């Protein structure tokens, strides 16, 4: 499958590498590929600049949001929540219409200090903002409730944990659930409901951030005990 991954950070890199290793043709979309390839500094988390990662993953092409979207059947949004709507506008609605958009972004706002709050929540969500702005795109919210390593390797944890999907299109959710199972190794997927249920998934972030502090590691995930 031809898949576009928007975002050159840790989430985008992790998702892109896993999809490529599963045999998909993966393109990473970014605002300005030349600028991204000119980076020489590690980010604030100590992750190496994109060119260092790209050398180790030469089969994954870096291009613009628009070119990546136009060439792909499915798009993963791994941009930061604050940059998501701009990135999707740059991708051009015509290149996205009718396609599945897997939205992994969280609308975190650290401008008021740490820990970050949500820029949108409770009565709305980033996923709903995307769905309203791009009504012909099949938005599926998923994977935003865990750290990148766990997204693509749920067996990193000692027991089976939970991954959720939210979206208005049942077929799109089923397609994403299949991909999560087959390519990422998730044994099962919980369907929370329509796109408004993404509010609940995004509102997990505040406790996720506190748990990372309490447990002193991002390597955990929510599980539903029955």
Binding residues for a second copy (CB under 8 A): 112, 117-118, 121-123, 157-161, 164, 190-193, 197, 199-201, 203-204, 206-211, 213-215, 217, 219-226
Q: Which two tokens stand for residue 127?
A: 């996923």
Rounded least distance, CB 180 to a second copy, Å: 16
Rounded least distance, CB 73 to a second copy, Å: 28
Cβ–Cβ under 8 Å, residues 33 and 60: no
Entry field: residues in the chain: 226
Long-range interactions of 197-200: CB distance < 8 A, separation 24+: 197/141, 197/166, 198/103, 198/125, 198/126, 198/127, 198/128, 198/141, 198/166, 198/167, 199/121, 199/122, 199/123, 199/124, 199/125, 199/128, 200/166
Q: Which is nearer to a second copy, 64 or 121 (CB)?
A: 121
Q: Which is nearer to a second copy, 72 or 221 (CB)?
A: 221
Rounded least distance, CB 213 to a second copy, Å: 7
Q: Which is nearer to a second copy, 97 or 122 (CB)?
A: 122
Rounded least distance, CB 79 to a second copy, Å: 21
Q: Which is nearer to a second copy, 165 or 172 (CB)?
A: 165
């Amino acid at each position: 499958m031809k898949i576009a991954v928007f975002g050159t950070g840790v989430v985008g890199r992790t998702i892109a590498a896993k999809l490529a290793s599963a045999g998909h043709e993966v393109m990473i979309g970014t605002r300005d590929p030349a600028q991204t390839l000119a980076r020489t500094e590690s980010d604030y988390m100590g992750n190496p600049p994109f060119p260092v990662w790209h050398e180790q993953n030469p089969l994954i092409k870096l291009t613009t949001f628009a070119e990546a979207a136009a060439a792909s059947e499915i798009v993963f949004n791994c941009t930061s929540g604050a940059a998501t709507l701009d990135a999707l506008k740059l991708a051009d609605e015509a290149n996205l219409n009718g396609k599945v958009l897997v939205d992994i972004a969280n609308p975190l706002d650290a401008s008021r200090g740490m820990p970050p709050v949500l820029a949108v929540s409770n009565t709305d969500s980033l996923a709903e903002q995307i769905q309203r702005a791009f009504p012909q795109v099949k938005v599926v919210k998923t994977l935003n409730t865990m750290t990148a390593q766990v997204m693509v390797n749920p067996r990193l944890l000692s027991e089976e944990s939970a991954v959720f999907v939210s979206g208005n299109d049942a077929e799109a959710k089923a397609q994403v659930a299949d991909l999560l199972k087959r390519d990422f190794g998730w044994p099962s997927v919980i369907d929370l409901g329509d796109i408004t249920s993404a509010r609940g998934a995004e509102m997990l972030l505040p406790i996720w951030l506190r748990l990372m502090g309490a447990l002193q590691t991002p390597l955990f995930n929510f599980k539903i005990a029955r």
